[in-house]
């Protein structure tokens, strides 16, 4: 029996909102999981388990596109993705989930300038305005209660991770043409986990076995693998097939907003006036960068840095 997909655009918009909700909540979840496991091992194990799920569910599509080029490009994406998540999670050990969420979101503004450096495609005036707003937002976030400089090293690492995320998006845009994104995503996840374990073996202590006996940690890892990785990627991919790009980009920008909301409600983050203004400026910059017109020669935004899961039609 053939299953007819829902036709209402609101269904697909809801999927995008759910994806951003899952990602927003993941900042608080990762913060808690880092109490039991180091950033590199947490990232590696998360990607390994997600790769196992993707590989099993979509094995027929992956088998059809199994070749050297998909493996090579997937590995490149995987290495960049590992550094993005690893540096982001290391930064999260010294900052709050809300700050981590909004500072990570600046990758949207960095992407056009990377395109300029790599493909000589000039950023638009809107990209420049968005970048200035984000810089102003970071400036406000760096101010303490007494207006003194209070930017943590964790905040700096988070901004650095945003550069890796932006680089990953540029590579996705270049590699996606003529290749199956599902297969690329599978090899990205698999190579990220293998490369991450190699790096973590030398850079971090081995995970304590007690972590795997902790119910709270297992629940946190289960959420990151099932909801924040596999389901979120599927929901994003399905949503972006029906929702206009401008609207989809705007909805996906809510990830940072949800990150702050969950951080305030569940982590107890103190929302000062400086933080509020900083978050507002960054969010405005993200909206401008994601929604305002681009030149015709400028490519559409690539899928989110985690990679997008296509439907396995088999």
Separation in Å, CA 148 to CA 62, 145, 154, 252: 53, 7, 17, 33
Which residues have a Cβ under 8 Å from the Cβ of 150 and sit 6 or more positions away?
142, 143, 144
Residue written as token pair 């988070």: 158
Q: What is the pLDDT along the chain (314 residues), one digit of tens a residue?
A: 444 455 688 898 899 999 999 999 999 999 999 999 999 999 999 999 999 999 999 899 999 999 999 999 999 999 999 999 999 999 999 999 999 998 998 888 888 888 888 877 788 888 888 889 888 888 888 776 655 567 789 999 999 999 999 899 888 888 878 888 889 999 999 999 999 999 999 999 999 888 888 999 999 999 999 999 989 988 887 887 788 766 787 788 888 889 999 998 999 888 888 888 989 998 898 888 877 765 444 444 444 444 433 334 44
Instruction: Answer positive or negative: Cα dihedral of 224, 31, 39, 253.
Output: positive
CA dihedral of residues 249, 255, 257, 261 (deg, nearest 10): 160
Rounded distance between C-alpha atoms, residue 247 and residue 237, angstroms: 14
Rounded distance between C-alpha atoms, residue 104 and residue 283, angstroms: 11
pLDDT attached to residue 80: 96
Question: How many residues appear in the chain?
Answer: 314
Strands, E, within 50-159: which ranges? none
């Amino acid at each position: 029996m053939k299953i007819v997909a829902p036709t209402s655009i609101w269904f697909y918009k809801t999927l995008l909102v759910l994806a951003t909700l899952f990602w927003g909540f993941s900042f608080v979840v990762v913060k808690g999981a880092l109490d039991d496991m180091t950033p590199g091992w947490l990232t590696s194990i998360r990607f390994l388990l997600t790769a196992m799920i993707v590989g099993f569910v979509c094995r027929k599509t992956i088998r059809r596109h199994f070749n050297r080029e998909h493996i090579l490009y997937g590995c490149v994406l995987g290495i960049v993705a590992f550094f993005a998540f690893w540096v982001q999670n290391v930064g999260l050990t010294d900052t709050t989930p809300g700050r981590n969420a909004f500072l990570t979101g600046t990758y949207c503004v960095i992407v056009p300038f990377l395109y300029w450096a790599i493909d000589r495609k000039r950023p638009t005036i809107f990209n420049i305005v968005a970048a200035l707003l984000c810089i102003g937002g970071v400036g406000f976030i760096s101010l303490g209660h007494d207006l003194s400089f209070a930017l943590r090293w964790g905040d700096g690492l988070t901004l650095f991770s945003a550069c890796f995320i932006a680089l990953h998006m540029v590579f996705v845009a270049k590699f996606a043409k003529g290749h199956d994104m599902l297969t690329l995503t599978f090899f990205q996840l698999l190579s990220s986990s293998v490369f991450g374990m190699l790096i973590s073996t030398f850079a971090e202590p081995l995970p304590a076995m007690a972590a795997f006996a902790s119910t709270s940690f297992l629940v946190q890892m289960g959420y990151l693998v099932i909801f924040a990785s596999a389901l979120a990627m599927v929901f994003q991919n399905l949503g972006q097939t029906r929702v206009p790009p401008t609207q989809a980009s705007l909805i996906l920008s809510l990830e940072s907003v949800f990150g702050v909301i969950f951080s305030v409600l569940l982590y107890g983050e103190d929302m000062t006036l400086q933080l509020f203004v900083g978050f507002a400026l960054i969010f405005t910059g993200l909206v401008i960068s994601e929604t305002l017109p681009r030149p015709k020669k400028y490519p559409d935004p690539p899928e989110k840095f985690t990679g997008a899961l296509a439907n396995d039609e088999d």
